[in-house]
Chain A
């Protein structure tokens, strides 16, 4: 079956470090992937997306890497800040616009 998962449920980093959050997916037919950030008490918020015809996409302080050979997706956050503390979800788009979410990684940033 289809599934999208994350390798680690929690990640703790120091302020200023670079963070890498990983995600594995199983559906080779997925052609669109998204990273969401969810702060406590709020709904998920779009961070960055990537299509399957790309290997890398950069945003402001964030980079998403896609390795289709091993079905792996990662989110890199440069110079992590306390405000980056949240739960991060990867999601893949299948069957039209229905998203399948992974279980999430909790990022904790200490000063």
Chain B
């Protein structure tokens, strides 16, 4: 099916563990994004990528790492999870006219 998917949809982990959130899009859009959504802050940009092997920091990049070896995939890694990283994470891709969002991953760090 065409679209943008995220996995897992829900994740519970412990402080200090490494966690990777996956994002996959089938449109071959060049631009992809990772946002986190928290009450009182709306959507905040973590990282974005203009193309394969090109990534750049957004507003809140600390504690996160991204890679883009293939156009269709844009994984987000929390190298050592902290409780402050408990949030809902959204991946998005951009057609040039519109940004499409995935269904989100709800991450809880205990």
Contact = CB atoms under 8 A, between A and B. Distances in A.
A93 B92 CA distance: 14
A34 interface: yes
Interface residues of B, number: 24
A14 to B, nearest CB: 27
Given A42-B104, A44-B90, A101 B99 contact: no
Interface string A32-65: 0010000001111110010000000000000000
Given A44-B101, A103-B40, 12 more contacts: A34-B99, A43-B103, A44-B43, A44-B90, A46-B98, A97-B99, A98-B48, A99-B43, A100-B45, A101-B42, A103-B42, A104-B42
Interface of B, helix, strand, loop or mixed by DSSP: strand
B64 interface: no
B104 A43 contact: yes
Given A89-B42, A98-B48, A42 B103 contact: yes
A100 B98 CA distance: 14
B61 interface: no
25 contacts: A41-B103, A41-B104, A43-B90, A43-B92, A43-B101, A44-B43, A44-B90, A46-B99, A49-B97, A49-B98, A89-B42, A96-B50, A97-B31, A97-B94, A98-B33, A98-B45, A98-B48, A99-B45, A100-B45, A101-B35, A101-B42, A101-B43, A101-B44, A103-B41, A103-B42
Interface of B: 31, 33, 35, 40-45, 48, 50, 58, 90, 92, 94, 96-104
Contacts, number: 48
Nearest to A103: B42
